[in-house]
């Protein structure tokens, strides 16, 4: 099969198409014939040699796929060849075929195209797991979502709105803020021009927000704590702003704040299956009733993965950058 490979870490141009061995589904796995995959920030880090795949995972970049079931490994039930599926991956997405643990598959909603479906797994599962399961977001609460124009941000806005929360977002341009409001955000904060904790206090009558979903990490830590209401929760899911910062424990004690951090890729197969199960039960119907939709910025052929990475690293995209395998692969 053909796949995008990286022989030496570096800039986007180090990625190129090559022939690689076809994968074989092991026990409990399903072989998927890919129609589309999508780009995530973790892909760009892996390309640069900064985020290796978990032990045993494919070295091929790509953490999600949409396609058809082609073959079943030993012991797999509930799926059959020809089923339309989308899946969360630990790696292997930038390829014509990928072997996936069966518990990480989801059915593609009938109304969605392959490219729409490929834009769902990583960002919607990340947002749902961190807002609902870890963040315990409840109806009537207020949530601040950083990076409202990105893939996780656009998914999180919709999921939070569907949960009955009031949604505030940060983004770096008026266009991204306007798009976020179109998805259901109640208010937007331009982080390049405004001090977001001050603006949060203005928007909440001085109280602060109940939950923050943060992709920045260290550079935002102190300001995130300032923006939280008493008993507020901070969920850190990214480190774009660094990994090390001091924390005022007295502030946590006095206001009963909770700080947590999670990743999705390194979870066990069993944990990922449970994350998928919760999402399918709670949120997947939203793609049928219209309360949720994938946000696709643009679709490129798989061979143009370098251009997609350049666009992501430049912050050009609103929503997902999708790579199609139904266009010429090369």
Q: How many domains does the chain have?
A: 2
Q: How many CB atoms lie within 10 A of CB 92?
A: 26
- One domain for residues 283 and 319: yes
Query: Is residue 272 domain-resident?
Result: yes
- One domain for residues 56 and 143: no
- One domain for residues 186 and 252: yes
- One domain for residues 161 and 186: yes
Both tokens of residue 274?
Answer: 């449970």
CA distances from 170 to 16, 147, 329 (A): 35, 6, 37
- One domain for residues 250 and 142: yes
Q: Look at residues 261, 276, 307 and tell me which one is the last residue of a structural domain.
A: 261
How much is the pLDDT for 330? 52
Angle, CA of 248, 252 and 256, to the nearest 5°: 170
Query: Is residue 330 domain-resident?
Result: no
Say which CATH number the domain at 162 has: 3.40.50.720
* Strand 166-171 relative to strand 187-190, pairing: parallel
How much is the pLDDT for 300? 98
How much is the pLDDT for 65? 98
The answer to whether 305 and 15 are in contact (CB under 8 A) is yes
- One domain for residues 245 and 308: no
Walk along the chain (330 residues) and give the pLDDT tens digit of each residue: 999 999 999 999 999 999 999 999 999 999 999 999 999 999 999 999 999 999 999 999 999 999 999 999 999 999 999 999 999 999 999 999 999 999 999 999 999 999 999 999 999 999 999 999 999 999 999 999 999 999 999 999 999 999 999 999 999 999 999 999 999 999 999 999 999 999 999 999 999 999 999 999 999 999 999 999 999 999 999 999 999 999 999 999 999 999 999 999 999 999 999 999 999 999 999 999 999 999 999 999 999 999 999 999 999 999 999 999 996 555
State which residues form the domain around 229. Answer: 124-261
């Amino acid at each position: 099969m053909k796949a995008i490979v990286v022989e030496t870490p570096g800039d986007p141009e180090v990625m190129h198409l090559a022939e690689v061995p076809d994968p074989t589904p092991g026990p409990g796995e399903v072989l998927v014939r890919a129609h589309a995959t999508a780009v995530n920030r973790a892909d760009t880090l892996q390309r640069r040699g900064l985020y290796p795949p978990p032990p045993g995972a494919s070295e091929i970049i790509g953490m999600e796929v949409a396609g058809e079931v082609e073959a079943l490994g030993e012991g797999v039930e509930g799926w059959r060849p020809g089923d339309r599926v989308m899946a969360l991956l630990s790696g292997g997405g930038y390829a014509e075929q990928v072997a996936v643990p069966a518990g990480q598959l989801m059915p593609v909603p009938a109304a969605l195209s392959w490219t729409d479906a490929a834009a769902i797994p990583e960002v919607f599962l990340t947002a749902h797991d961190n807002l609902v399961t870890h963040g315990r977001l409840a109806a009537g609460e207020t949530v601040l979502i950083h990076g409202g124009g990105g893939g996780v941000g656009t998914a999180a806005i919709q999921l939070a709105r569907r949960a009955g929360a009031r949604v505030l977002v940060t983004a770096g341009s008026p266009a991204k803020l306007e798009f976020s409001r179109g998805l259901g955000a109640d208010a937007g904060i331009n982080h390049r021009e405004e001090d977001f904790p001050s603006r949060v206090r203005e928007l909440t009558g001085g109280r602060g927000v109940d939950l923050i979903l943060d992709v920045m990490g260290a550079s935002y830590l102190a300001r995130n704590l300032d923006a939280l209401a008493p008993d507020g929760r901070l969920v850190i899911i990214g480190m774009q702003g660094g990994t090390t910062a001091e924390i005022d424990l007295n502030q946590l004690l006095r206001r009963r704040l909770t700080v947590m951090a999670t990743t999705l890729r390194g979870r066990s197969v069993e944990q990922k299956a449970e994350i998928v199960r919760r999402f399918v039960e709670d949120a997947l119907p939203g793609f049928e009733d219209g309360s949720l939709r994938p946000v696709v910025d643009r679709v490129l052929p798989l061979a143009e993965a370098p251009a997609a990475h350049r666009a992501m690293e430049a912050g050009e995209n609103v929503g997902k950058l999708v790579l199609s395998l139904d266009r010429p692969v090369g």
